[in-house]
Amino acid sequence: MRIRVSHQTVYHYDSPASRVIQILRITPRSHDGQHVVRWRIDVSADCRLTTQEDAFGNITHAFSDDVPTDRLEVLVEGEVETQDTGGVVRGAIERFPSSLYLRETELTRADPAILAFARSVAHADPDDTIGTLHALVRGVYSEVTFDTDPTHVTTTASEAFSLHRGVCQDLAHVFIAAARSLGIPSRYVSGYYWRSDGITAQDAGHAWVESFVPSLGWVAFDPTHAMCANDAYVRVAIGLDYLGAAPVRGTRFGGVGETLEVAVNVAQAFQQIQS
Amino acid sequence: MADCFDEMRGVDGAIRPAYAGLDAWLRDLSPDLLDQRCQEAELLFRRIGITFAVYGEAESTERLIPFDVIPRILSSAEWSLLQRGLTQRVKAINMYLKDIYGRREILKAGIIPEDLVFQNQVFRPEMNAQKVPHDVYVHIAGIDIVRVDHKTFYVLEDNARTPSGVSYMLENREIMMRLFPDLFSRYRVAPVENYPDELLATLKSVAPETAAADPTVVLLSPGIYNSAYFEHSFLADKLGIELVEGRDLLVKGGVVYMRTTEGPKRVDVIYRRVDDDFLDPLAFRPDSTLGVPGLMSAYQAGQVTLANAVGTGIADDKAIYSYMPDIVKFYLAEEPILQNVPTWRCREPEHLTYVLEHLAELVVKEVHGSGGYGMLIGPMADKGKLAAFRTRIEADPKNYIAQPTLALSTCPTWVERGVAPRHIDLRPFVLTGRDTVRIVPGGLTRVALQRGSLVVNSSQGGGTKDTWVLDT
Amino acid sequence: MLSRTADNLYWVARYVERADYLARILEVTLRLTALPLAYVGSTNEWESAVATAGCSRSFHAHYPEAGEDSVKEFLAFSPDNPCSIRNCIELARTNARAVRTALTSEMWDVINGAWLDLKRFNNAPGSREEFMHFLRWVQETSLRFDGSASRTMLRTDAYWFFRLGLNMERADNTARILDTKYHLLLPEDTHVGGPLDYYQWAAILRSVSALTSYHWVYRESLKPWLIADLLILNPKMPRSLASCYENLVRYCDALAEAYGRQGTSQRKARGIRTRLSNLRMEEIFQSGLHEFISEFISDNNELGGAISRQYLM
What is d(CA B147, CA B342) in angstroms, rounded to the nearest whole number? Answer: 13
Which of C130, C128, C26 has its CA nearest to residue C74? C26
Q: Provide the pLDDT for residue A258.
A: 85
The Cα-based distances of B87 to B78, B204, B308, B439 in angstroms read 14, 20, 17, 8
The average confidence (pLDDT) of chain B is 90
The beta-carbon neighbor of B281 closest among A104, A154, A251 is: A251
Q: Do A52 and B282 touch (CB under 8 A)?
A: no
Which residues of chain B are within 8 Å of residue A250 when distances are taken between CB atoms? 282, 293
pLDDT digits (tens, 9 = 90+) for B82-117: 999 999 999 999 999 999 999 999 999 999 999 999
Q: Provide the pLDDT for residue A81.
A: 96
Q: What is the mean pLDDT of residues B123-138?
A: 95
C116 touches chain B (CB under 8 A): yes
Is the CB of residue B422 less than 8 Å from the CB of residue B407?
no
Which residues of chain B are within 8 Å of residue C108 when distances are taken between CB atoms? 51
What is d(CA C118, CA C129) in angstroms, rounded to the nearest whole number? Answer: 17
Q: What is the mean pLDDT of residues C147-160?
A: 95
Q: What's the pLDDT band for C224 if we cut at 50, 70, 90?
A: confident
DSSP A80-110: EEE---TTEE-S----S-GGGGG---GGG--
Q: Do B259 and C1 touch (CB under 8 A)?
A: no
What is d(CA B216, CA B203) in angstroms, rounded to the nearest whole number? Answer: 10
Q: Provide the pLDDT for residue B55.
A: 42
Q: Tell me the pairing of strands B462-469 and B67-74.
A: parallel
Q: Do B261 and C100 touch (CB under 8 A)?
A: no
The average confidence (pLDDT) of chain A is 93
The beta-carbon neighbor of C6 closest among B223, B224, B261 is: B261
The beta-carbon neighbor of B128 closest among A21, A95, A249 is: A95
Which of C42, C154, C172 has its CA nearest to residue C107? C154
The Cα-based distances of B218 to A256, B294, C233, C259 in angstroms read 31, 17, 46, 21
A94 touches chain B (CB under 8 A): no
C4 touches chain B (CB under 8 A): yes
Q: What's the pLDDT band for B62 if we cut at 50, 70, 90?
A: very low
What is d(CA A234, CA A7) in angstroms, rounded to the nearest whole number? Answer: 13
**Residue C245: is its pLDDT beyond 70?**
yes
Nearest CA distance, B247 vs chain A (angstrom): 10
pLDDT digits (tens, 9 = 90+) for C158-189: 999 999 999 999 999 999 988 888 877 776 65
Q: Do C3 and B248 touch (CB under 8 A)?
A: yes
Task: In chain B, count H helices and then E strands.
Answer: 16, 21
Q: Provide the pLDDT for residue B56.
A: 43
B46 touches chain C (CB under 8 A): no
* φ, ψ for residue A268, nearest 5 deg: -80, 130
DSSP A230-260: -TTEEEEEEESSHHHH-SEEEEEEE--SEEE
Q: Provide the pLDDT for residue B1.
A: 44
Q: Provide the pLDDT for residue B47.
A: 65
The beta-carbon neighbor of C2 closest among B54, B233, B260 is: B260
Which of B327, B243, B252 has its CA nearest to residue B295? B252
**Residue A5: is its pLDDT beyond 90?**
yes
Q: Which one of B257, B261, B292 would you mutate to disrupt binding with C, by most C Cβ within 10 Å of its Cβ? A: B261
Q: What's the pLDDT band for C34 if we cut at 50, 70, 90?
A: confident
HSE-up (13 A, CA, CB side) for residue C179: 19
pLDDT digits (tens, 9 = 90+) for B181-205: 988 988 999 999 999 999 999 999 9
For A105, nearest residue in chain B (alpha carbons): B121
pLDDT digits (tens, 9 = 90+) for B442-460: 999 999 988 888 777 766 6
The beta-carbon neighbor of A97 closest among B118, B126, B282 is: B118
pLDDT digits (tens, 9 = 90+) for A41-88: 999 887 788 899 999 999 999 998 878 888 999 999 999 999 999 999
Please state whether the peptide bond connecting residue B172 to the residue before it is cis, i.e. omega within 30 degrees of 0: no
The beta-carbon neighbor of A55 closest among B119, B125, B297 is: B125
pLDDT digits (tens, 9 = 90+) for B208-262: 999 988 999 999 999 988 888 889 989 998 999 999 999 999 999 889 999 999 9
Residue A125 C-alpha from the chain's centroid: 30
Q: Tell me the pairing of strands B444-448 and B419-427.
A: antiparallel
Of residues B58 and B349, the one with the higher pLDDT is: B349
Q: Do B253 and A64 touch (CB under 8 A)?
A: yes
What is d(CA A136, CA B146) in angstroms, rounded to the nearest whole number? Answer: 51
A49 touches chain B (CB under 8 A): no
Residue B19 C-alpha from the chain's centroid: 26
What residues contact A74, with CB distance under 8 A and at least 6 apart?
A8, A9, A22, A24, A26, A41, A42, A43, A44, A248
Q: Provide the pLDDT for residue B29.
A: 84
Helix (H) or strand (E) holding B420: strand B419-427
Helix (H) or strand (E) holding C12: helix C3-33
Q: Provide the pLDDT for residue B333.
A: 97
In the CATH hierarchy, which top-level class contains the domain B343-404? Answer: alpha beta
Q: Provide the pLDDT for residue C195.
A: 61
Lowest mean pLDDT among A228-232, C41-45, C256-260, C278-282: C41-45
For B240, nearest residue in chain C (alpha carbons): C101
Q: Provide the pLDDT for residue A194.
A: 95
The beta-carbon neighbor of C101 closest among B224, B233, B262 is: B233
For B299, nearest residue in chain A (alpha carbons): A52
Torsion of CA B300, B305, B310, B312, to 10 degrees: 130
Cα end-to-end span (Å), chain A: 19
Q: Provide the pLDDT for residue C199.
A: 82
Secondary structure (3-state) at C196: coil
Amino acid at C233: L
pLDDT digits (tens, 9 = 90+) for B382-439: 999 999 999 999 998 988 999 998 889 999 999 887 899 999 999 999 999 998 999 9
Per the document, the length of chain C is 313
Domains of chain A: 2-82+248-268 (2.60.40.2250), 88-245 (3.10.620.30)
What residues contact B146, with CB distance under 8 A and at least 6 apart?
B153, B154, B156, B341, B406, B408, B409, B425, B426
pLDDT digits (tens, 9 = 90+) for B31-40: 888 888 888 8
Which residues of chain B are within 8 Å of residue C101 when distances are taken between CB atoms? 233, 236-237, 243
B252 touches chain C (CB under 8 A): no
Nearest CA distance, C170 vs chain B (angstrom): 23
What is d(CA B328, CA B336) in angstroms, rounded to the nearest whole number? Answer: 6
Residue B64 burial by Cβ neighbours in a 10 Å radius (0-12, 13-18, 19+): middle
A263 touches chain B (CB under 8 A): no
The beta-carbon neighbor of A251 closest among B125, B293, B301 is: B293
Task: In chain C, count H helices and then E strands.
Answer: 16, 0
A88 touches chain B (CB under 8 A): no
Amino acid at B39: Q
Query: Strand order of the sheet with strand B362-366?
Result: B344-345, B400-404, B362-366, B376-377
CB atoms under 10 Å from CB of A143, counted, come to 18
Which residues of chain A are within 8 Å of residue B252 when distances are taken between CB atoms? 64, 66
What is d(CA B407, CA B150) in angstroms, rounded to the nearest whole number? Answer: 12
Which residues of chain A are within 8 Å of residue B301 when distances are taken between CB atoms? 50, 52
pLDDT digits (tens, 9 = 90+) for B308-359: 999 999 999 988 999 999 999 999 999 999 999 999 999 999 999 999 999 9
For C114, nearest residue in chain B (alpha carbons): B56
**Helix, strand, coil abundance in chain B, percent, nearest 5:** 40, 20, 40
Q: Do B51 and C105 touch (CB under 8 A)?
A: yes
Q: What ipTM goes with this model?
A: 0.91
Which of B412, B409, B457 has its CA nearest to residue B69? B412
Lowest mean pLDDT among A193-197, B363-367, B373-377, C244-248: B373-377
For A55, nearest residue in chain B (alpha carbons): B126
What is d(CA B129, CA A117) in angstroms, rounded to the nearest whole number? Answer: 38
Q: Do B129 and A95 touch (CB under 8 A)?
A: yes
Q: Provide the pLDDT for residue A269.
A: 86
Q: Do B253 and A100 touch (CB under 8 A)?
A: no
User: Any idea where the domains of chain B sit in the sequence?
Assistant: 17-208+304-339+407-469, 343-404
Q: What's the pLDDT band for B372 if we cut at 50, 70, 90?
A: low
Residue A67 burial by Cβ neighbours in a 10 Å radius (0-12, 13-18, 19+): exposed
Which other chains touch chain C, taking contact as 3+ CB pairs less than 8 Å apart? B
Is the CB of residue B29 less than 8 Å from the CB of residue B187?
no
Q: Provide the pLDDT for residue B265.
A: 96
The beta-carbon neighbor of A99 closest among B118, B125, B252 is: B118
Which other chains touch chain B, taking contact as 3+ CB pairs less than 8 Å apart? A, C
Q: Which one of B123, B252, B256, B276 would you mutate to disrupt binding with A, by most A Cβ within 10 Å of its Cβ? A: B252
**Residue C219: is its pLDDT beyond 70?**
yes
Which residues of chain C are within 8 Å of residue B52 when distances are taken between CB atoms? 100
What is d(CA B48, CA C176) in angstroms, rounded to the nearest whole number? Answer: 42
pLDDT digits (tens, 9 = 90+) for A14-31: 888 888 999 999 999 999
What residues contact B347, with CB distance under 8 A and at least 6 apart?
B113, B397, B398
Torsion of CA A126, A129, A135, A139, to 10 degrees: 90
